[in-house]
Structure 1
Amino acid sequence: MHTSKAQRTSVLFFTNFPPPYTGHTVNNELVFGWLNDAQKKKINISNSKGRLQSTGLLRIGGIVSHIKKLIGLRKELNRRRYNCLYMTFSHSTLGFLKNYLTTLAARGKVDFIVGHIHTGSYSSLFRKNLLRPFTLSFVTGVDRFIFSSERMYAKCASYIQLNKKFVLENTLSKELLVSKEEVELKIRSRKKEDTFQLIYISNMIPSKGYKDLAKALVLLSGNSAIDFHATFIGGWMARSDELEFLSFLSENKLEKFVTVLGAISDRQALRRALMEAHVFILPTYYPTECQPVSIIEAMNAGNAIISTFHASIPEYVKTDVNGVLVEKMSPLQIRDAIVRLYDFQYWIECATGSRRVFEEKFYPDVVKLKFMDFLETLK
């Protein structure tokens, strides 16, 4: 039987894997899973012990840990010759320096160095005076930069040559994948359901927009014509943030309209939550936002989308196609978008559009094939 070059390509993954479950750690796990056991190995460089952490903070322990990981990397590269070193690239100064040291450690020991970028702020690195002595050398030493969208590459086009660019959309795990038939049944069943189910899934960070959504729900609660329920799913950075949010809900008499679940690591539970929802809402203005995986997961389950004109989101969420885009930090526009989607026929059009966009751009087999074809180009 003929074996393609992609199936023969050996790849060493030197990156972060879950937990915690973030967009880029989940993506790393997915890409790793596409390759057969004989051609892959992972070195998990996560130092978070499964907890969410603020990015860009200088931690002595983290530096020491990374040096230990680099020693392990060198040992593995001396033990076996890999065709490709797969990394994820950071936009922070400390993260960049770690990436730079890693490429230096690997140079000459692998055939290709590939860096996957999951941040919308990567171009900011090239404008930092402190890093200018290193960025040109770094770009020269990296063979391919993987971006999640053309929009994200466009920000870096002045610094990274076109022939080093590869665009690979995010996708989702098979545990969350919903069949086309299930989505069609969900859409047909909507008319029988009394409560309009709204859902937010992301880390509970203010710039992800969860407070803006809560304020929109306060406005919506005054509309007696709409029977709604909103579910918030996501991990908290601090207990004080959670208590403040719960207090806000109580003060505004939203407890009967809202459920706050915290982080969910059970993929089947998350799948059920997405299938029970009708509208997914992520009013993000997160500074390093790129291509939120949670939106892709929601489209997969046939949810209409409400999100913002931010990062790469307008490339695949379009008003009147699969949802409604709103301005950042605009609770009133979020409320109006919910009211608009409450119209049954309009919701059907947008929910159907979401599933269509998912199948065309983000379906796991589509993205996997694109990545395997990419490995074929590493010659």
Structure 2
Amino acid sequence: MANSKKVLIIGPFPPPITGNGLSNKVVYEGAKEKEDLIADKINTSSKNFDESVGSFSFKKVFNAVCYNLKIHKVARADVLYITPGQSFFGIVKYAFFIIIAKLYRKKIIVHIHGNFLHQEYDKLKKTNKMIAKKLIGAANSGIVLSKSLKKNLSPFLADEKIETVNNFFEDYLAERIEDVLENKSLEKLKIIYLSNLMMEKGIMDLLSAIELLQKNNINYEAKIAGNIDIKIKDNILKKISELQHVTYLGVVESEKKKNLLLWGNVFVFPTYYKMEGQPIALIEAMVTGNVLLSTNHAGIPEIFSEKNGCFINKRDPQDIYQKLIKINNNSNYYQEIIKHNHLYAKKKFKKELFLDKILEIITR
């Protein structure tokens, strides 16, 4: 252990559950299992889920003060692996960690989980632009989720310093599921939404599409799971209560999440979320044998095509409804996609592939 590298992972960890948080958890656990690494972490998560990511609030400032009190951990680390936000505040709240790391000549890796940073940077005023460039530009390496998302780091880092690493599914989701997949059918639409319930992730569009299924007497059942932004919680729960055959499950994890994904046959994700990157939820839905409906947005087209389901228009409940009807009326064709998605995800998005690449970047 004397020659082991010490990596400090700084970013959000569950709860609440987000793709970024889950990714950090997997990296932390993977690093702890490696004999040549000693892993520590600083959790920057807020306790409450809020859709207004990137906006300023005194709660966020207080939270930032609390985790910055752990800055002494930087001096003991060899490598900092940081997953900053994509707003100016989301960058600046990591400033002390980055500045101290540079003073101590630590290796810095930044991993961006989305496609908004380049837009935010373009809109910044000159002084804030300079601050953002100095902070992100201090990194020795940067990681994005796909080639199309490299533009989020290109204002700060040379191209040769930017790596692409696909997201992943957790191993347990694909374990001992062959019999269940063999018996999955599309005789009845079993619709899943599994993500944070946010306006920009299209939850209200999906509920409006389900209302059309109900009005037209289509045979369906829907299960909705995830955190709800507190500001729209009452409206969403009211809408769900007005629909037949729709259940809100709250936050689901581990076996409950796996059982939900295996229960369903169509996974609907109508996102236009400005911070979206490469949603882990889509990968999880594929490996558990679901037909996908999602938007042509952010890094989604690099992991999803018409071979995996159907693209849907943003902010368009009618289009979601029509694509659900298309699947319902062509069940034999889409039955084959259930099998294809499982095999495709197992080949391309194993956690092992993700971890091997991340840990190689950390230890090189």
Partner-residue secondary structure (3-state), 2:184: helix
Partner-residue secondary structure (3-state), 2:267: strand
Residues 110, 142 of structure 2: 8 Å contact kept:
yes
Runs of 4+ in 1 over 6 A off after TM superposition: none
| Matching residue within 237, 247, 250 for 2:238 | 247
Aligned to 2:197: 204
1:111 aligns with 2:106: yes
Aligned to 1:293: 280
Going from structure 1 to structure 2, the CA distance change for 1:64 and 1:258 (only over 3 Å counts) comes to closer
Alignment of 1:46-57 (within 5 A): 46=45, 48-52=46-50, 54-57=52-55
Letter in 1 for 2:142: F
Identity among equivalent pairs (%): 26
| Matching residue within 198, 219, 229 for 1:227 | 219
Unaligned runs of 5+ in 1: none
Residues 225, 251 of structure 2: 8 Å contact kept:
yes
Partner-residue secondary structure (3-state), 2:163: strand
Cα distance in structure 2, aligned partners of 1:196 and 1:137: 51
| Matching residue within 211, 229, 234 for 1:218 | 211
- Aligned-residue Cα RMSD (Å) equals 2.4
Alignment of 1:1-379 (within 5 A): 8-36=4-32, 39-46=38-45, 48-52=46-50, 54-73=52-71, 75-78=72-75, 80=76, 82-127=77-122, 128-129=124-125, 130-175=127-172, 177-179=173-175, 182=177, 184-191=178-185, 194-224=187-217, 226-238=218-230, 241-249=232-240, 251=242, 254-255=243-244, 257-264=245-252, 266-319=253-306, 321-342=307-328, 343-376=330-363, 378=364
Residues 12, 85 of structure 1: 8 Å contact kept:
yes
Going from structure 1 to structure 2, the CA distance change for 1:273 and 1:155 (only over 3 Å counts) comes to same
TM-score (norm. length: structure 2):
0.90
TM-score (norm. length: structure 1):
0.86
Cα distance in structure 1, aligned partners of 2:19 and 2:58: 26
Unaligned runs of 5+ in 2: none
Going from structure 1 to structure 2, the CA distance change for 1:155 and 1:95 (only over 3 Å counts) comes to closer
Letter in 2 for 1:28: N
1:349 Cα offset (Å): 2.4
Cα distance in structure 2, aligned partners of 1:76 and 1:155: 28
Cα distance in structure 1, aligned partners of 2:240 and 2:92: 42
1:221-250 deviations in Å (ceiling 9; x for gaps): 2444x4210111121112x63332343345
Residues 322, 352 of structure 1: 8 Å contact kept:
no
Aligned residue-pair number:
358
1:312 Cα offset (Å): 0.7
Residues 93, 125 of structure 1: 8 Å contact kept:
yes
Letter in 2 for 1:331: P
Partner-residue secondary structure (3-state), 1:89: coil
Cα distance in structure 2, aligned partners of 1:190 and 1:68: 48
